[in-house]
Chain A
Amino acid sequence: MSEINKQPASEDRRRFMGTAAAVAGLAIAPGVLLYEVAHSKSDDVGVSNQTRWGMLVDSTKCATGCNDCVTACSTENGWQMPEQSKHPRQAPQWIRKLELEDPLSQVKTSLPMMCQHCAEPPCVDVCPTGASFKRADGIVLVDRHICIGCRYCMMACPYKARSLVHEPLNDTQKQDVPRGIGCVESCTFCVQKVDRGDGTTACVEACTAAGHNALVFGDLNDAESEISKLLRTLPTKEVRADLNLNLGVRYHGI
């Protein structure tokens, strides 16, 4: 073995390797193959920017007083509802229901508010450690391994979407959703479900199950997805569109 190792690679072998590499290059060359690879995400390949996950909230269908999306999120992701917490004002909340009233016309609007999954997220801009990041498929997340709990991102977020875990969780976490004291967290678009290939989130499932159908989740980059078709027909708005953040969550009827 040692004798072989001492020999430099022979000319023949070099020539062979060169040809082999050229053949391999040819096989990949037709763009079709690469396109196919990018679109069918197999389990051990990372996410790609071919997909951009987004949500459409139809506030005309969102029922006043209904809290199903919030409870579903709490159950799926293992955070406690603020009412059950000893300190409700600082309890983590990934999604919350807002009831708005126009002071002039007294028109009432009901809508869920959560992380808007901006394409240009301010939370990522301000994070001093790089813990706050945007995944290739547009989901904005916190890498809790790197988060130091400084809460700059909470200050920077225009939507008050993030919260800090103040109390120890004592092994009550869900196995799919690790979370812990001293880290900032927010809506993840149920990233564990998305990666599993469910193609939906807990809040959307709950809203559909309750028969309201106010929430639609899907791929904004896929022109044939339900959400893209709806976005083409319904007039929608981004909250604080003046900030030019290119949000993943769009609202209809506000």
Chain B
Amino acid sequence: MRRNHMKLLMHHRDETVHEGVRTKKYSLKQCINCHASKETGSVTAAKDNFCVSCHSYAAVKIDCFDCHSSKPQSSAMMHPLSVEGAHLKHQMAAQAGVQVSVKDMAAMAEGVK
């Protein structure tokens, strides 16, 4: 994903703009909903935010957010599994020093809702 995300985004953007495919899989909006920082609510606002953290290290200018909004419209739109669930997963794994299965994560996401 790190190496090829630009190809994926390029491919999906054409299908979205020209053919109107706007499912979660094809949606930059969905990427942002999950990856936006809890503090700034954005993927680009601070140095350690999702997109900028790599792009500044690799010195690659990022043009997407000249036009696209870098923020989810509301925090309620953030994906419960990735925002809360992912943090819980890391916490739990760190505490117990064990692998967490997908089933456990799903169960936690249910609990979070």
Contact = CB atoms under 8 A, between A and B. Distances in A.
Interface of A: 43-47, 133, 135-137, 141, 143-145, 168-169, 171, 173-176, 178-181, 183, 191-192, 194-196
Nearest to A134: B18
Nearest to A146: B17
Given A175-B29, A181-B66, A44 B21 contact: yes
Given A168-B66, A169-B67, A194-B20, 9 more contacts: A47-B19, A133-B18, A135-B18, A135-B19, A141-B17, A174-B73, A179-B67, A192-B22, A195-B22
Contacts of B19: 46-47, 135-136
Contacts of A180: 66-67
B47 to A, nearest CB: 17
| A contact face: mostly helix, strand, loop, or mixed | loop
Contacts of B17: 141, 143, 145
Interface residues of B, number: 23
B13 A43 contact: no
Interface in B59-90: 65-73
Contacts of A171: 42, 65, 69-71
Contact of B23 (A43, A137, A175, A194): A43
A173 B72 CA distance: 11
A183 B67 contact: yes
A187 B81 CA distance: 36
A168 B72 CA distance: 20
B26 interface: yes
B15 interface: yes
Nearest to A173: B69
Contacts of B32: 175
A174 B72 CA distance: 9
Given A145-B13, A174-B73, A46 B21 contact: yes
A195 to B, nearest CB: 5
A44 B25 contact: yes
Contacts of A145: 13, 17
B67 A47 contact: no
B26 A44 contact: yes
A135 B15 CA distance: 11
